C-alpha cells in the first residue's frame, strides 16, 4: 500500500514512530519535516494532498499538534477527503461512511499506542459504499 505521510514540528516524533511500526505493511512517501524546529504546516500538506489527487499515493496521514490545521489545508483539494481522527471509532467511520483518504492525527492529544491503533484502523477499514457513496459524491464544490 502506498501511503503519503507528512507532519509539522509537533508531529515529528509520532511520524517516525508510525513509519517504523508500519514499515512492513506500507510503502511510505515522507513529505514532512524531520526536525522539531517550528515550521509552517501548509508547506508539508500541499505536496501530500497533490500526491493523493494525482493517485501517486492511495492514502495519506497528516500529523500536527491539534490535527486541525493540516486537515483544513488538505480539504482545500477537491480529490482529498481528510478526516480529523482522535479515536478508533472516528477513524473507522471516516473510512466506512465518508471514504476519507487522509487521516489527520492530533499529536499533542494522543500517545503513540492510540495513534498507532487509529492509523491501523484507517488503513484496514474499507468504504461501505451504498447510500454513503451518494453523500460522498456531493462533497466537492
Catalytic machinery residues:
64, 97
Q: Residues 6 or more apart from 12 whose CB is under 8 A from it?
A: 32, 33, 34, 35, 36
Among residues 136, 55, 67, which one has the least CA distance to residue 95? 136
9 φ/ψ sector (left φ>0, alpha ψ -120 to 50, else beta):
alpha
Q: Is 17 exposed, middle or buried (0-12, 13-18, 19+ CB in 10 A)?
A: middle
**111 SS3 class:** coil
Structural Rg of the chain based on CA atoms: 14
CA distances from 79 to 68, 122, 124, 127 (A): 18, 18, 20, 16
Amino acid at each position: 500500500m502506498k501511503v503519503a505521510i507528512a507532519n509539522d514540528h509537533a508531529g515529528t516524533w509520532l511520524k517516525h514512530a508510525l513509519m517504523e511500526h508500519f514499515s512492513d505493511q506500507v510503502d511510505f512517501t515522507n513529505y514532512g519535516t524531520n526536525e522539531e524546529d517550528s515550521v509552517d504546516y501548509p508547506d508539508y500538506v500541499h505536496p501530500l494532498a497533490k500526491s493523493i489527487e494525482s493517485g501517486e499515493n492511495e492514502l495519506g496521514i497528516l500529523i500536527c499538534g491539534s490535527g486541525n490545521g493540516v486537515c483544513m489545508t488538505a480539504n482545500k483539494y477537491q480529490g482529498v477527503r481528510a478526516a480529523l481522527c482522535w479515536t478508533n471509532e472516528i477513524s473507522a467511520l471516516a473510512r466506512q461512511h465518508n471514504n476519507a483518504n487522509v487521516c489527520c492525527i492530533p499529536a499533542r492529544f494522543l500517545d503513540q499506542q492510540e495513534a498507532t491503533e487509529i492509523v491501523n484502523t484507517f488503513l484496514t477499514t474499507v468504504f461501505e459504499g451504498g447510500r454513503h457513496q451518494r453523500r460522498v459524491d456531493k462533497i466537492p464544490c
